[in-house]
Amino acid sequence: MADRTPILAANWKMNKTIEETERFLAEFLPKVPDSGPEVVICPPFLSLKTAVEHCMQSHARVAAQNMHEQPDGAYTGEVSAPMLQELGVDGVILGHSERRQYFNESDDALARKVLVALDAGLEPILCVGESLTQRESGETEALLTRQVAADLAGVPDNRLAGVVIAYEPIWAIGTGRTATTEQAEEAIALIRGLIESRSAEAAAAIRILYGGSVKPENAEELVSQPDVDGALVGGASLDPEDFAAIVAAA
Ligand code: PEP
């Protein structure tokens, strides 16, 4: 890996109450090394405040799993960037495939959300990735090219390095079916090439993660690929021991 600090991010999805969050962090945080990879916990909205308070004295940071692009207004059930800022949250996952699939998250909205997050000082973790059908019909490159172009359309070249991209093949999420190290490296190198066509400097600096059934057993091999700068972890991040083992592997 080049000079980029790896990131291990835990996407808890709709899991863990506040009490469960406290229990997880009490066990997990003492295992987080004071230096080394960046560790990011992404709990549900209701646990963000608790997570921020617990992580404050540690090397771990906290990110949300989504946010609305408007600062306020009549958007029932939504949460805005200023609300996340007020809690002391450091970042936000944007465009997770589950949000694209179940909540009709569009590339247009994502392009706006990425900019709003950057302007608010929240590090966006932008998820991109193809479905199994798209991979099998040879559309992976076209899909990734389209998503990266559309979702980062509004970000000036000199701010691209402030975005984190997570390559998450949909067929590998929660399925136990991990991309091979070659598949992960190939897709992530492709994404880095897309960034390079806009700015060589940004391409060298931007962190691009792999996500999709990362486990303690496969984390080291995946993260050791030259273009893979860490992992976005779903299922295995729910267990403090497993996630600590993944952090240690990186
Ligand atoms: C995810 O939801 O971002 C993810 C990668 O999930 P899992 O690790 O469970 O495949």
pLDDT tens digits, residue range 61-114? 999 999 999 999 999 999 999 999 999 999 999 999 999 999 999 999 999 999
Q: What is the pLDDT of residue 1?
A: 43
Q: How far is the CA of 73 from the centre of ligand 1 (A)?
A: 31
Contact indicator for 140, 182 with CB cutoff of 8 Å: no
CA 172 → CA 26, 175, 185, 199, distances in Å?
Answer: 30, 6, 15, 30
Average pLDDT over residues 183-190: 97
Predicted TM-score of the model (pTM): 0.96
Positive/negative CA dihedral, 11, 185, 161, 118: negative
Q: What is the pLDDT of residue 35?
A: 87
Q: What is the overall mean pLDDT for the chain? A: 96
Residue 216 CB: number of other CB atoms within 10 A?
A: 18
Q: What is the pLDDT of residue 2?
A: 60
- For residue 205 the two structure tokens come to 């600096």
- E-strand ranges in the chain read 7-11, 38-42, 60-64, 91-94, 123-128, 164-167, 207-211, 230-233
pLDDT bin (cut points 50, 70, 90) of residue 178 is confident
The answer, yes or no, to whether any atom of ligand 1 lies below 6 A from the CB of 211, is yes
Contact indicator for 62, 38 with CB cutoff of 8 Å: no
Q: What is the pLDDT of residue 175?
A: 87
Which atom number of ligand 1 is nearest to the Cα of residue 93?
Answer: 3
Q: How far is the CA of 212 from the centre of ligand 1 (A)?
A: 5
Catalytic residue, chosen from 98, 130, 168, 185, is 168
3-state secondary structure of 156: coil
The answer, yes or no, to whether any atom of ligand 1 lies below 6 A from the CB of 168, is yes
Q: How far apart are CA 11 and CA 178, in angstroms?
A: 16
Contact indicator for 80, 89 with CB cutoff of 8 Å: no
Longest dimension (CA), the chain: 48
Residue closest via CA to ligand 1's atom 1 equals 234
